[in-house]
Amino acid sequence: MKEKSNILIIDDDETSNYVASQALKARFGDVRVMTVSNGMEAIEFFKKHPNESPDYVLLDINMPLMNGFEFLSWYESSVYKGTSKIMMFTTSIRKKEKDRAGMFEDVVAYIEKPLSNRIINQYFTFA
């Protein structure tokens, strides 16, 4: 049987991270939610935990140091490609960004903030 399910939130908005974490924990109970503030920290997370790839990654687009698309470029060329389901998690409703996100193989959804129970029920499943 699998251990706890893991979700990594990559976002520099602490309030959004808190709200999303609480909503996910309320819905799934035993899920482990980790947060980092930008793409650089996310890369470090993956490198420090090579055998613990998250089941899901909620990825913001606009962040300091390394934005969401820069992280996706790294991820898709890394050994971790295909180990996590990535969901863009953003306030941006620009078609250009939605289309760009859809070009990445591991992006399974484009979710607008805030994270709601309807979105959680629609996109998150754990076996």
Q: Structural domain of residue 103, as residue ranges?
A: 6-123
| In a domain? residue 97 | yes
Count of structural domains, the chain: 1
| In a domain? residue 1 | no
pLDDT digits (tens, 9 = 90+) for 56-102: 999 999 999 999 999 999 999 999 999 999 999 999 889 999 999 99
| In a domain? residue 42 | yes
Could you tell me which residues come within 8 angstroms of residue 39 by beta carbon, excluding any fewer than 6 positions away? 10, 63, 65, 66, 67, 68, 70, 71, 74
| In a domain? residue 38 | yes
Give the pLDDT band of residue 108 (cuts 50, 70, 90).
very high
Q: What tokens does 8 get?
A: 């990594």
| In a domain? residue 86 | yes
The CATH code of the domain that includes 33 is 3.40.50.2300
Q: Region 15-20: what's the mean pLDDT?
A: 94
| In a domain? residue 40 | yes
pLDDT digits (tens, 9 = 90+) for 30-51: 899 999 999 999 999 999 998 8
Identify whether the C-beta of residue 105 lies closer than 8 Å to the C-beta of residue 93.
no
Identify whether the C-beta of residue 33 lies closer than 8 Å to the C-beta of residue 11.
no
Indicate the pTM of the whole model: 0.92
Could you tell me which residues come within 8 angstroms of residue 111 by beta carbon, excluding any fewer than 6 positions away? 58, 87, 88, 89, 90, 119, 123
Q: Dihedral through CA 39, CA 16, CA 53, CA 79, nearest 10?
A: -20
